[in-house]
Structure 1
């Protein structure tokens, strides 16, 4: 259900809108429909399990952290509206809804991470009054949302130590505010640097076939006053060869225990080119995106998307011949050997990642108890 829509105006800044927020009074999650950007800003109210699932699958809400927040709010709202009065029935309904939402997108670990965290709260209060458990679930969902904001800011602070004023930064896809609750992951150093007067020069890959870099990253960076230049995906080598890029910052949807990372398709190409031109590649990832149970990138399930995203989306007429075979993976895996560092909210992990990521998790446990 569209609750508000307006065409983008000169004085209408996308950064003034929450990517995801809870409307508890109306039993809804309010999201920006990112498939409509940058042409128009539409806020959508999601109320049913099917609407939440569709919004995640169809990329109306996207970006690993934002998906996690949406899932947490979503499973809370579905549980809140349950008529079950006994714990066992309530738990059974919760698990069924959780598994349904978890099937929306397989690669982004934050989806299952947030849902598992919510289930942990439910089971920590096993046998208690259902109405009280609903309150605990709401508190946890709000904490996941607020935690995302804190985490992104810390990633930005650590990331900012890797660059200097005036540097050129290249980013791929959208790991900005539109992918999180605030600041973004890969863009967090850029936004914090802008506040400090660093005046970075940012290059945003358009990111085919869904153009998240063109439609979203370029849009939000420009709206924030950042010096951003949009380039086609196959232009990254040229800007690096010209010496215009000092660092690459990208987000990711899953980090394996050995430091391999799954991110939007094309990231591994950028990383390989950057390695050739001696440009460091930094993965900006909250610890919720790090999956130590996944040994290497080869173990990450890569989502396959519909052929139409390649052959006809964004075109007035179909641009590929009828019947042609299409391979459309949503993500690729960047080998850990191409990565200079993984920036988390608890510091920067360096090779060997099998050791440094373990240290990051030890630090998280010491500081947060999680």
Structure 2
């Protein structure tokens, strides 16, 4: 067993007589079944991102770029590249607003828009703009896998033999095109025989750890123990955790990092118990424009994710992410190497 048993999260395919489609793993139905959806419109992609059918910062970055390609392929009536570009400028704003915290979404949209602008400036046809958009999405998919494998190699070098790793949410293959960021580190270390156990937080309220991470690790044959979020302190106190490895949705210039709600608490626990706390993320997650975590927009999710029934007069607070200060992070692992949090902008070259 190994990562070859994991599905490709997002691919560009032909659908219904040659129409362009984005084929995604529908993560809402895991772990009970492995299901796929073919998305053919920009609206389909935005709905998939908002409802978490497609999730994970790197994956939704690719999805954002794919949304523009799908619009160009299946919705636009523009006769030339300039007219199509004008339409895509508005489409890009719509797509980028689907989820505010993960900077990869706007990064992917901006990259696709840049491709369209470059093609449009050459006076090419709408069909040529589409071809270039689709080709670049496929390039992004390949680049993402390569980056994840590099992250895995750099991160595995930080871990010792018989390592016991705690992770939160899902920063695995399902959160990327393939292989994963935090779980990319796990997979690379496992291939080197270093992993004794992975503790997967269930990750309330949506359960990305219990539904997705545990499923992935099982598919790949990596030893895994699923725990409730509130058990992390106990297993750290018992000396059962050698490292915490998590992903990221946005990293500020000073190293402050937004990730799934509950990550900040884990970082505090790790600091108290002397356990190294690593962030694993591609450089596309670094937002050098924001100087500190207080500037990161935090997505507020629907109350029904927390409880299906809420008594009258009771409010529900459901932020999807929290911010971990740089001083609680041991190191940030990227495809370009390992960096101290305060030096993360050096990874941008």
Shorter chain as denominator, the TM-score bin is over 0.9
Shift of 1:127: 4.0
Does the CA contact (< 8 Å) of 2:81 and 2:129 recur in 1? no
Number of residue pairs matched by the alignment? 342
Partner of 1:329: 319
The Cα RMSD (Å) is 1.5
What is the CA–CA distance in structure 2 between the aligned matches of 1:321 and 1:14, rounded to whole Å?
A: 46
For 1:224, which of 203, 220, 223 is the aligned residue?
220
Alignment of 1:147-186 (within 5 A): 147-186=143-182
Instruction: Tell me, in whole angstroms, the C-alpha distance in 1 between the residues paired with 2:200 and 2:79.
Output: 51
Give how far 1:86 is off.
Answer: 2.7
Residue 337 of structure 2 corresponds to residue 347 of structure 1: yes
Q: C-alpha displacement at 1:14, in angstroms?
A: 9.6
- The residue that corresponds to 2:187 in the other structure is 191
Aligned-pair distance for 1:133? Answer: 2.1
TM-score, normalised via structure 1 length: 0.89
Q: Aligned partners of 2:149 and 2:21: how far apart in 1?
A: 27
Superposed CA offset, 1:89-138 (max 9, x none): 21111112111111110001111001101111111231421222222212
Determine if the alignment matches structure 1 residue 23 to structure 2 residue 13: yes
Note the alpha carbon deviations across 1:171-205, whole angstroms, 9 max, x for none: 00000011011110001121112222223311000
Indicate yes or no: 2:346 matched with 1:359. Answer: yes
Q: How far apart are residue 80 of structure 1 and its match?
A: 2.5
Matched-pair contact (CA < 8 Å) for 2:6–2:219:
no
Pick from 79, 88, 106: which aligns with 2:82? 88
Tell me the SS of whatever aligns to 2:23. strand
2:45 to 52, 60, 64: 52
| Superposed displacement of residue 321, structure 1 | 2.1
Report Cα offsets for 1:313-350 as digits up to 9, x if no partner: xxxxx3x4234100000000001010000100001111
Establish whether residue 246 from structure 1 lines up as the match of residue 242 from structure 2.
yes
1:245-285 CA-partner distances (Å, limit 9, x unpaired) = 11100001000000000000000000001000010110001
Match of 2:57 among 49, 56, 64: 64
CA distance in 1 between counterparts of 2:322 and 2:195 reads: 31
1:99-118 equivalence runs, <5 A: 99-118=93-112
Name the counterpart of 2:70.
77
Whole-Å separation in 1 of the counterparts to 2:154 and 2:6: 25
Counterpart CA distance in 2 for 1:360 and 1:220 is 29
CA gap of 1:14–1:331, structure 2 versus 1, over 3 A, is farther
Unaligned residue ranges in structure 1 (runs of 5+): 1-10, 313-317, 363-370
Question: Separation in 2 of the partners of 1:278 and 1:218?
Answer: 25
Moved more, 43-52 or 149-158: 43-52
| TM-score, normalised relative to structure 2 | 0.95
- 1:129 maps onto 2:124 in alignment: yes
Highest relative contact order (Cα 8 Å, sep 6+), 1 or 2?
A: 2
